[in-house]
């Protein structure tokens, strides 16, 4: 369990650090790759590390760089490092309000 959570944190940190160097909008190629996430759901459980890797390697490049300082689209809020960390903690608690 600890390894997958550390992997997710490392991937999230890399994503946040990449925001100043990447384009605000995803490339056409990145968006086209999203089809690789489609298809039928598996009948059996699979390795969560593989799922996380696919989500990051395919999904992350296809996102808008909305948390970055160069995004001037919709004013929908912000995800500062403190708010991301609080969200992770609340997700780990898994409580129903």
Tokens of 31: 């968006």
Q: How confident is the model at residue 8 (pLDDT cuts 50, 70, 90)?
A: very high
CA 57 – CA 49 distance, rounded (Å): 12
Residues in Cβ contact with 31 at an 8 Å cutoff, skipping those fewer than 6 apart: 62
> Can you give the pTM of this predicted structure?
0.81
Residue 53 Cα distances to 44, 75, 93, angstroms: 18, 30, 23
Sequence ranges of the domains in the chain: 2-93
Per residue in 11-50, pLDDT (tens digit) is 999 999 998 898 889 999 999 999 999 999 889 999 999 9
pLDDT at residue 71, rounded to an integer? 73
pLDDT at residue 65, rounded to an integer? 85
Residue 67 near residue 24 (C-beta atoms within 8 A): no
pLDDT at residue 10, rounded to an integer? 96
């Amino acid at each position: 369990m600890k390894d997958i959570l550390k992997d997710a944190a490392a991937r999230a940190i890399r994503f946040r650090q990449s925001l100043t160097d990447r384009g605000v909008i995803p490339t056409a190629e990145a968006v086209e790759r999203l089809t690789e996430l489609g298809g039928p759901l598996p009948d059996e459980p699979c390795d969560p590390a593989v799922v996380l890797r696919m989500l990051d390697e395919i999904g992350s490049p296809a996102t808008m760089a909305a948390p970055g300082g160069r995004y001037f689209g919709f004013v929908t809020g912000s995800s500062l490092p403190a708010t991301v960390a609080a969200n992770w903690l609340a997700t780990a608690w898994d409580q129903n309000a």
